[in-house]
Amino acid sequence: MIPLPHPAPSDYNRDAVHIDFLYWEGCPSHEEALGRLRVVLEEEGIDAELATIHVSTDAAARTLRFPGSPTIRVQGRDIQPETAQTSVSGLTCRLYILDDGHPSPLPSAELIRRAVRAAAERSEKEVEA
Amino acid sequence: MTLATNQQIIPFALEGVDGKSYSPGAFPNARALAVIFWCNHCPYVRAWENRIIALGREYAGRGVSFVLINSNDPEKVPDDSFEQMKVRAREYAYPFPYLFDATQEVARQYGATRTPEVFLFDASQTLRYHGAPDDNVDDAQAVRQHFLREALDAVLLDRPPALAKTPPKGCTIKWR
């Protein structure tokens, strides 16, 4: 089992959106992607608990079902599940398909924004219920 | 050790997806030769693919040849097998040879580490530019520095490119 640097359940901020940012340092896109994620969270005013997870071995990649670097999971849900599902787990760069259909090694700010907004809205509904 | 600016091209003899064997001598009249380490699966390659195809078509009429070389281990990345290279070249109508470096020796000799990674040679097959295709993989419309295009224009004018080297940006070559 690969230990994840997540906080213990008792340490979670229940109101915060939990985000896992998984990366492999062999792919150069993670710093820019993490920067985009942070900018989006700030612009949206979303209270998030962000865990950055370095995936460094093939075994860890398989265990984490890591479809390539960078991968962002918001409340456990991949921000682009359709491209995650078509990728084989491993230490490689992640392919994203942008809104205009172009391939990219980086998720767009809009893709990240949609995912965190949807998660924040789900959290609000759960609190209200 | 990476091939350095002003060094001569390193010979290779590799099979292309068209079944022919290619070496630097196959382009005796090229005014410039772009050797680009490439593959199928890498999102950086995919993002730059249409730009490289367009550049290859645009400069073909000016005596420039492009050659793509895939050195990835297909055991690690099945999408980069020779059979899949044929599929990719056909699907995208590559206007240049796409070669398979099955032993990975060519990548090692050149010191290539990434895909894509450009080595641009002049008419005397001397290295004039090494690095990335341009400065924005993510957005073709937002490119500010067209490294390869500017290097090609300089070489065709028999001048040294303003930038002889930029950091290659892309996926790592998948070694055995």
pLDDT at A34: 98
pLDDT at A12: 52
pLDDT band, residue A122 (cuts 50/70/90):
confident
Q: SS3 for B37?
A: strand
pLDDT at B111: 98
What average pLDDT score do residues B113-139 get?
A: 97
- Quote ipTM for the complex: 0.90
Which tokens hold the place of B109? Answer: 């000799």
Q: Determine, for residues B44 and A93 on separate chains, whether the beta-carbon distance falls below 8 Å.
A: yes
Q: Any residues with CB less than 8 A from the CB of A125 and at least 6 apart, and which? A: none
Mean pLDDT of all residues belonging to chain A:
89
Q: What span, in angstroms and rounded, lies between the C-alpha atoms of A50 and A32?
A: 16
Q: Determine, for residues B138 and A27 on separate chains, whether the beta-carbon distance falls below 8 Å.
A: no
pTM higher than the cut 0.95: no
User: Tokens 């050195």 identify what position?
Assistant: B71
pLDDT per residue over A28-38, tens digit each?
999 999 999 99
Give the residue on B whose Cα is nearest the Cα of A32.
B138
CB of A75 closer than 8 Å to CB of A119: yes
Q: What span, in angstroms and rounded, lies between the C-alpha atoms of B131 and B138?
A: 17
Q: Any residues with CB less than 8 A from the CB of B46 and at least 6 apart, and which? A: A95, A103
pLDDT per residue over A45-67, tens digit each?
999 999 999 999 999 999 999 99
Closest by Cα among B137, B149, B165, B141 to B49:
B137
Residues in chain A: 129
Q: Determine, for residues B138 and A105 on separate chains, whether the beta-carbon distance falls below 8 Å.
A: yes
